[in-house]
Chain A
Amino acid sequence: MTTSRPACLDWLQMLTGICLVVFMYLHALFLASIILGPGAFNSLADFFEKYYLAQKGGPAIALVFLVHFFLAARKIPLSSREQKKFLSAAKMFRHRDTWLWMVQVVSAVVVLLLGAIHMWVVLTDLPITAEKSAARIQTGYWLVFYMLLLPMVELHVGIGWYRLGIKWGFIKSAARHRAKRAEYYLTTFFILLGLIILVRFLLLSS
């Protein structure tokens, strides 16, 4: 009898994916409170601390993040033969959705490394405050770090939900092109928002 494992892992991959998509977009919106000023940012952060959302939620998200990576990694070609086959197929067939998958793989690896560092640094130094974040970014190295992490996260998240919608049928073929356009707009929006947030932190006087 066929095992249910592939199916269950696929479910988990989808569910963890949805969690992370929702988390990442909310995360960006919370960060955006800095645009209103350190006061708004800090009171939101206080709110999360008070209800233990940062202390408990942070590690939980980290766990989901790792689980999602390992689930998705099943699909990444590990042998060089498979990698070559995929690459040659993608090269021959200039097809956007196939290339987007490569973007997903590359961004996944970057997000895994940088995202883990980011989470480690933030979660081992609670509470989160606007001042601490600004100080970190103003060192310069961290700015470069976030400038890399930001587009990678947004690309991965954007392509991720588009792909999920396709695979499970939330997005029907008739809506595919609209969904893809929405994905581009949304990704661009969040990258721009992220940049504004970074600039705001950079300009925040301590």
Chain B
Amino acid sequence: MSRKLKYSIFRYNPVDPDSKPGMQEFFLQETENLNLFVALNILREVQDPSIQFDFCCRAGICGACGMVINGRPGLACRTKTADLPDQVSLLPLPGFRLVGDLSVDTGSWFRAMNEKIRSWVHTDKEFDPQEQEVCMDNRVAEKIYELDRCIECGCCIAACATAQMRVDFLGAVAMNRIARFMIDPRDKRGHKDYFEVVGTDQGIFGCMGLLGCQDVCPKNIPLQDQLAYVRRKMGWQALRRLMPGQA
């Protein structure tokens, strides 16, 4: 006998003047292999076509479907109902502007973050189409890829009480990105350049080590270690700047 699951879904359409924020309940029979991607789409197709939520790749690759599932930020497409209790509460990710119901505007947030930390390879070298690529140790490439696996789903921001409290805090996603550039030999920025973007209370020194980020990251990126790495590097950089003769 399969379970009948109760979904409590946050509903609010900011564009509709008649809409009031609140939870709405839906019921759906559980089927084999059901996940929240399938369940929410059935609810939308059959019970209420106005529910807003975001899915894109539905394979845990694109990061579109971050939401708070029974109190925990995670990717809905990867969440199997078999792993959930009879009651499922779904909330939009906090920390991002609400588009409607479970849908939030992560795009603007991440674009602003990427602009702030200047998230691109900085180099003086011009690209020469005739030239062979610059050699790189495969271990370095794999290490960069490890950190590049971040999908900007926003779960680390939603799970970070510091980011929730301080709206200008850049969060683990930004520190991980900076760590990625620090280990990339193609990025010619030095620690003093990185210090300019993350050596602040909005950056690494705003992190209080709560580790919500590490515990929810759907890609299992070692955020704890990256945050510590950036803190140490930026900490030393600050001391270096205090030395006489150093800018």
Q: How far is the CB of B200 from chain A (nearest CB, A)?
A: 5
Do A167 and B207 touch (CB < 8 A)? Answer: yes
In the complex, the answer to whether B196 meets A2 with C-beta atoms within 8 Å is yes
Q: Which of A71-89 contact B (CB under 8 A)?
A: 74-75, 77, 82, 85-86, 88-89
Cβ proximity bits B71-106 to A, threshold 8 Å, 1 near / 0 not? 111000000000000000001001000000000000
Give Cα A92 to B239, complex, Å.
39
Do residues B214 and A173 form an inter-chain contact, with CB atoms below 8 A? Answer: yes
Q: Which residues of B contact A176 (CB under 8 A)?
A: 211, 224
Could you say which of A6-14, A31-39, A111-119, A183-191 contacts chain B? A6-14
A104 to B58, CA, bound (A): 40
Closest chain B residue to A170 by CB distance?
B228
Determine whether the beta carbon of B94 is less than 8 Å from that of A7. Answer: no
- Using CB atoms, name the residue of chain A closest to B202: A6
Bitwise, A1-38 to B at CB < 8 A (1) or not (0) is 11010111111000000000000000000000000000
Asked if B238 CB lies within 8 Å of chain A CBs, one says: yes
Q: How large is the interface on B (under 10, 10 to 19, 20 to 34, 35 or more residues)?
A: 35 or more
* Complex Cα–Cα for A46 and B242 (A): 41
| Closest partner residue, chain A, to B207 (CB atom) | A167
Q: How far is the CA of A184 from the CA of B161 in the complex (A)?
A: 23
Q: Which residues of B contact A98 (CB under 8 A)?
A: 161, 210, 212
In the bound complex, how far is the Cα of B73 from the Cα of A8, in angstroms?
33
For the complex, give the distance between the alpha carbons of A4 and B234 in Å. 10
Q: A11-B239, A92-B68 are in contact. Are A2 and B199 (CB under 8 A)?
A: yes
CB <8 Å contact, A7 and B237: yes
Please judge, given known A-B contacts A1-B196, A8-B238, A93-B72, whether A101 and B224 are in contact too, CB under 8 Å.
no
Q: What is the CA–CA distance of A6 and B215 in the complex, to the nearest angstrom?
A: 26
Could you say which residues of chain A place their CB within 8 Å of the CB of B205? 6-7, 9-10
Q: Say yes or no: B196 contacts A168, CB within 8 Å.
A: no
Cβ of B117 to closest chain A Cβ, rounded Å: 12
Q: In the complex the two chains form, is B208's CB within 8 Å of A8's CB?
A: no
Q: Are A92 and B71 in contact (CB under 8 A)?
A: yes
Complex contact A89–B161 (CB within 8 A): yes
**Cα-based distance from A169 to B160 in the complex (angstroms):** 19
Q: Does B159 contact A (CB under 8 A)?
A: yes
A9, A167, A169, A172 — most chain B CB neighbours (10 Å): A167
Q: A88-B164, A168-B231 are in contact. List 17 more A-B contacts (CB 8 A).
A: A2-B195, A2-B196, A6-B199, A8-B238, A9-B205, A10-B231, A11-B238, A85-B161, A85-B165, A93-B71, A94-B71, A95-B159, A98-B210, A101-B208, A101-B210, A167-B208, A176-B211
A-B contact pairs, 21 of them (CB 8 A): A6-B200, A7-B199, A11-B235, A11-B239, A77-B165, A82-B166, A86-B164, A86-B165, A89-B165, A93-B68, A93-B73, A93-B212, A95-B159, A98-B210, A163-B209, A166-B209, A166-B211, A167-B208, A167-B231, A172-B228, A173-B214
A residues contacting B by CB (< 8 A) are 1-2, 4, 6-11, 74-75, 77, 82, 85-86, 88-90, 92-95, 97-98, 101, 163, 166-169, 172-173, 176
Of all A-B residue pairs in the complex, the 4 with the closest CB atoms, nearest first, are A169-B228, A7-B238, A167-B209, A89-B164
